[in-house]
Structure 1
Amino acid sequence: MTDTPFSTRRRQAMFKTILVPTDGSHLSDKAINTAIEFAKFSSGRIIALSVAEPYPFSPMAESTMATDPGTYEENMLALAKLNVQKVADAARNAGVPCEMLTAQAFNPDEEIISAAEKYHCDAIFMASHGRSGLSRLFLGSKTQRVLAHSTIPVLVLR
């Protein structure tokens, strides 16, 4: 099948740099697979990001600390690296260029927005855990905050 002028033009207009934040969950896999498929079609590239949240230190609970904060943060960063490596492996298998990023922050949504700006991303493909009701109210939604603050398109997968 040869490209028509329309399909060539359409491929050039697609998102070329797609940010894929991942937490390693099954839902994130949907966003990863969709982003890679889209990037492959549009000859784009993937920026994979996993944000490790620092130890939730509370001065009130200092005497009841069960985990060493340094060990906790090392483990979370190692997990973040595994998460982005999973994206990079899938992208490589599909022939899509991928850059891996890890960060540590209390507010992953801010890191996602920052990475999208820094790497000049055209879109963000991310998963939503689909919380509703009180759990959404109390836990907040990282996806919702990205949607509220992003200046580029965000594709949310459930």
Structure 2
Amino acid sequence: MYKHVLIPTDGSALSTQALEKSLDFAREIGAEATVLVVMEPLQVMTVNPTGLEAAYAAYDQSNNNAADGILADATQVAKQRMVACDTLKLMSLDPAGTIVETAEKYHCDIIAMASHGRSGFKAFMLGSVTMKVLAHSKTPVLVYR
């Protein structure tokens, strides 16, 4: 039924647990996986942008290094489980939209991701990436808690 699983991750503990469970699921059903990290660009609003180039460069380098580490770890976990796995790193201001678009672009049959439980006013105002993916995806979504 499912042949290609998209696994978005941010490297958090809950997301890493979901990654491991998603790769177990992929192995059990004989599917391949694509692990996705969506990096959000630095957003600074200032009247005086002098010197921000260095801050942007440092942030981008740190962001890329973190994403590369997350994807390297995911590749190792996939190898341990003998799951064919590609990795993908994208930059976007809209992580949920990027996840949905990536699932469509790469013909993924299912998106498997962690629940990022927010509560109270913040959840009401912002919602989580997972909630936004659930709301906008035409691809089935498996949520790990």
1:119 and 2:110 correspond: no
- Runs of 4+ aligned structure 1 residues displaced above 6 Å come to none
Aligned to 2:23: 36
Q: Deviations over 1:48-76 (max 9, x none)?
A: 000111011213474696x7111101211
TM-score, normalised via structure 2 length = 0.91
1:153 and 2:140 correspond: yes
The counterpart of 1:69, out of the listed 52, 56, 62, is: 56
Aligned to 1:10: none
Aligned counterparts of 2:64 and 2:91: Cα–Cα separation in 1: 7
Aligned to 2:36: 49
**Structure 1: runs of 5 or more not aligned:** 1-12
8 Å Cα contact 1:16-1:122 kept in structure 2: yes
Q: In structure 2, give the amino acid aligned to 1:74.
A: Q
Which sits farther off after the overlay, 69-78 or 134-143? 134-143
TM-score, normalised via structure 1 length = 0.84
8 Å Cα contact 2:41-2:91 kept in structure 1: yes
Q: Deviations over 1:96-145 (max 9, x none)?
A: 00000001111111111111011100101111221111121344311111
Task: Go from structure 1 to structure 2 and tell me whether the alpha carbon gap of 1:64 and 1:92 turns closer, same or farther (over 3 Å shift).
Answer: same
8 Å Cα contact 2:104-2:139 kept in structure 1: no
Aligned counterparts of 1:126 and 1:150: Cα–Cα separation in 2: 13
Aligned counterparts of 2:14 and 2:109: Cα–Cα separation in 1: 22
The counterpart of 1:89, out of the listed 50, 57, 76, is: 76
Aligned to 2:95: 108
User: Percent sequence identity over matched residues?
Assistant: 38
Q: Which has the larger radius of gyration?
A: 1
Aligned length: 145
Aligned counterparts of 1:76 and 1:133: Cα–Cα separation in 2: 29
